[in-house]
Structures are given as C-alpha cells and as structure tokens.
C-alpha cells in the first residue's frame, strides 16, 4: 500500500498519543482541584489526529488550529515545559502566562494552536497559505465541524482554491458543538462533500485510526506540494469533554467514545500488538516516558515565577505608557 506508516512512524505516533493523553488527564485533574485555572479544552479521545498529522507536515510547515489545539501543540514538538508553565499562569509560559490553554502558540515551531473565536483560524491559516506558497511550505489548518458553518470557512476555501494555496484543511468531526449536535446545526451529513463546491479533493476518514488518517493526508499533501492547491480532509472522531471548566458529558455518548472499539489509543495498541510491534515491556517504556516528560514539565512550571502584575501592559502598546 502506498503511504503506509513504517514501524518508526507508528511508535512515534503512539508516543505522542500517550504524551497528549497523560498531559491532558493531569490538566483535568489539576483544574478540578483548583490548582490551575482558566478555560481548558482537552482533545482527549481525539489524540490520533494531531499525533498522525505530525508525520505528514514538515517541522517548518505552518500549523494553525482552532480552540482545541493543545494536542496539536504537543504533537508538533512545541515547548512542553512552557505549555505547562502557561497552564500555571507563570512568567515562563509560552505566552508569558497571559493566554492560557486556549491561546497556546509557539512561533519558533510555526504553530498557532489556539484561537477563542470559533472559525477565525481558517482565515489565519489561509493568510499563512500565501507566505507558505512563497516559501515552498505547506499549511495544515485544523478545526471542529462546528467552525465550518461560519462564513469564513467558505471564504477561506474559495480563496485558497482560486489561488491554489498549499493548505491541508482538516476537520475534526466530533459531532458536537458545546450544547448542540451536528444534526441540529449542520446541513448535509459529511463536511468533506463541501470540497466539491470548490473543485478541490475532499475525503472522510476514520479519525481514530492513524493508518487511515496518514494514507489520505499523505496523498493530499503530495497534491498540495505539487502546486495543485488545497484539499479538505474530514476525520471522524469523538471528544471526551467539551471544556473542563464547563463539562457537558452525555453518559451514553461517553461510554461509546471511551469504549475499546472506539478509543484511538486502545485501538492502536491492539493493532500494534497484532502486528508484533508492541510488547508489554515496550508499552511500559512508552507510558513511563510520557509520565517522565509530564513530571519534568510540572516541576518546571511549579518552580517558575509568577508574572509581575505591572508587566501586564507590556507589549500591548507600541509606545511606552507614561506613569
């Protein structure tokens, strides 16, 4: 099969999925204890998408996501310690403790992985597409299916198609937008069919299966890199929770999403075992590694200084503000 993952890619994806899950479970736990505050949007249950896309884009390609970007931030190898310092609101945080989990971004890794305004990131990604075209790079733009109902999604895909911009648009279809389900908000069943309107390639894949995501995303990346313009990839998945601060879990839906048949990590573990790649010892090694990374990041964050309140106005105005 063309575009199939090799052993090394698979283990890297597995390790990333574990890092995201371990980190975000801890984030939920600490938030519930009141140790960290803010608006937290975990991608628990969706880990296969960020972890696999990291095998598709290059380290200097641009990555732009909507509000559920923490997993993408981690998968791109952005500063993990600075992410945790951000969650703790410390001066060493990736946005100096000002943005919190919903505004994670690390420009040294070409990653804008946070945006509180649903849909707006499609426009930012499309703008980045002009720079990417000039520099011979690609943009990977990721957002939820709810955000595709904003007008800016149409404007962005239309412009990208006309201009043949090098952008892979990825939709994380988790069937839910805060209080609403897609059948209440979204015309048509599949977002990928909207690609027809722009005469660009579009496809729907199982977003909890790294092999399926990789095969189609690589095919699309080849199309994009050969100058033929953007593609639209829809990944079917499920999120455990909307936001930690305002969790609205529906028990029956959660039961399905967390089941071994649906959960991306359990499914991948079963597959890797069947393929003779994963052993008990290797699984333990990977899980220990995820835990070690987390402990180091927690230590860094907890020992970092808090910002000085008077620094809050820095970098807001171009001219110093008179005392």
Ligand X SMILES: Cc1ncc(C[n+]2csc(CCOP(=O)(O)OP(=O)(O)O)c2C)c(N)n1
Which residues bind to ligand X, rule: CB under 6 A?
67-68, 116-118, 143-147, 172, 174, 176-178
* Residues 48 and 213 sit within 8 Å (Cβ to Cβ): yes
Task: Specify the length of the chain in residues.
Answer: 323
Per CB under 5 A, 148 contacts Mg ion: no
Residue 117 binds what, of ligand X, Mg ion, none (CB under 5 to 8 Å, by partner type)?
ligand X
Residue with the closest Cβ to ligand X? 144
Helix, strand, coil percent content, the chain, rounded in steps of 5: 50, 10, 35
Please provide the DSSP assignment of 173-199 as one string. E-SEETTEEHHHH-SSS-GGGGHHHHT
Read off φ and ψ for residue 105, nearest 5 degrees: -160, 150
For 96, half-sphere exposure in the C-beta direction (CA atoms, 13 angstrom radius) is 8
Residue 147 binds what, of ligand X, Mg ion, none (CB under 5 to 8 Å, by partner type)?
ligand X
Residue 115 binds what, of Mg ion, ligand X, none (CB under 5 to 8 Å, by partner type)?
none
Per CB under 5 A, 65 contacts Mg ion: no
Per the DSSP assignment, residues forming a β-bridge with 241 are none
Read off φ and ψ for residue 245, nearest 5 degrees: -75, -20
- Minimum CB separation of residue 287 from Mg ion in Å reads 29
Please tell me the distance from the alpha carbon of residue 54 to that of residue 14, in angstroms, as a whole number. 12
Per CB under 5 A, 174 contacts Mg ion: yes
Which lies closer to Mg ion via its Cβ, residue 156 or residue 177? 177
Beta carbons within 8 Å of 219's beta carbon, 6+ residues apart: 2, 3
- Minimum CB separation of residue 188 from Mg ion in Å reads 15
Please tell me the distance from the alpha carbon of residue 194 to that of residue 138, in angstroms, as a whole number. 21
Which of 38, 50, 119, 144 is in the footprint of Mg ion by CB under 5 A? 144
Please tell me the distance from the alpha carbon of residue 80 to that of residue 93, in angstroms, as a whole number. 10
From 309, 313, 296, 312, select the one nearest 82 (Cα to Cα): 296
Q: Show the site string, 97-136: x = touches Mg ion by CB under 5 A, - = not.
A: ----------------------------------------
- Minimum CB separation of residue 173 from Mg ion in Å reads 7
Per CB under 5 A, 147 contacts Mg ion: no
How many residues contact Mg ion, by CB under 5 A? Answer: 5
Tokens of residue 315, six digits: 């970098």
- Minimum CB separation of residue 169 from Mg ion in Å reads 15
Per CB under 5 A, 243 contacts Mg ion: no
Q: Which stretch binds Mg ion (CB under 5 A): 144-152, 230-238, 249-257, 284-292?
A: 144-152
Which lies closer to ligand X via its Cβ, residue 67 or residue 76? 67
Which lies closer to ligand X via its Cβ, residue 10 or residue 68? 68
Per CB under 5 A, 207 contacts Mg ion: no
Which lies closer to ligand X via its Cβ, residue 79 or residue 145? 145
């Amino acid at each position: 099969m063309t575009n199939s993952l090799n052993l090394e890619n698979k283990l890297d994806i597995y390790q990333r999925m574990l890092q995201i899950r371990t980190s975000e479970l801890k984030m939920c736990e600490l938030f519930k204890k009141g140790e960290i505050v803010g608006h937290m949007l975990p991608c628990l249950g969706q880990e296969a998408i960020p972890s696999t896309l990291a095998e598709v884009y290059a380290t200097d390609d641009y990555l732009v996501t909507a509000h559920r970007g923490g997993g993408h931030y981690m998968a791109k190898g952005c500063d993990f310690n600075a992410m945790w310092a951000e969650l703790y609101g410390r001066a060493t945080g990736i946005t100096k403790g000002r943005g919190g989990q919903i505004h994670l971004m690390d420009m040294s890794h070409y990653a804008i992985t946070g945006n509180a305004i649903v849909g707006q990131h499609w426009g930012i990604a499309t703008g980045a597409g002009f720079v990417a075209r000039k520099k011979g790079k690609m943009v990977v733009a990721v957002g939820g299916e709810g955000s595709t109902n904003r007008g800016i999604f149409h404007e962005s895909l239309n412009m990208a198609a006309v201009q043949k911009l090098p952008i892979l648009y990825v939709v994380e279809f988790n069937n839910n937008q805060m209080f609403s389900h897609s059948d209440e908000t979204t015309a048509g069943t599949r977002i990928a069919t909207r690609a027809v309107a722009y005469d660009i390639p579009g496809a729907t894949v199982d977003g909890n299966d790294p092999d399926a995501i990789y095969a189609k995303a690589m095919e699309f990346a080849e199309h994009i890199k050969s100058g033929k313009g953007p593609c639209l990839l829809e990944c079917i998945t499920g999120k455990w929770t909307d936001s930690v601060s305002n969790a609205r879990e529906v028990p029956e839906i959660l039961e399905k999403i967390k089941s071994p048949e649906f959960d991306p990590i359990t499914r991948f573990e079963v597959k890797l075992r069947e393929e003779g790649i994963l052993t008990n010892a290797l699984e333990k090694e990977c899980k220990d590694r995820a835990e070690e990374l987390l402990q180091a990041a927690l230590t860094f964050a907890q020992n970092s200084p808090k910002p000085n309140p008077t620094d809050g106005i820095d970098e807001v105005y171009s001219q110093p503000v008179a005392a």
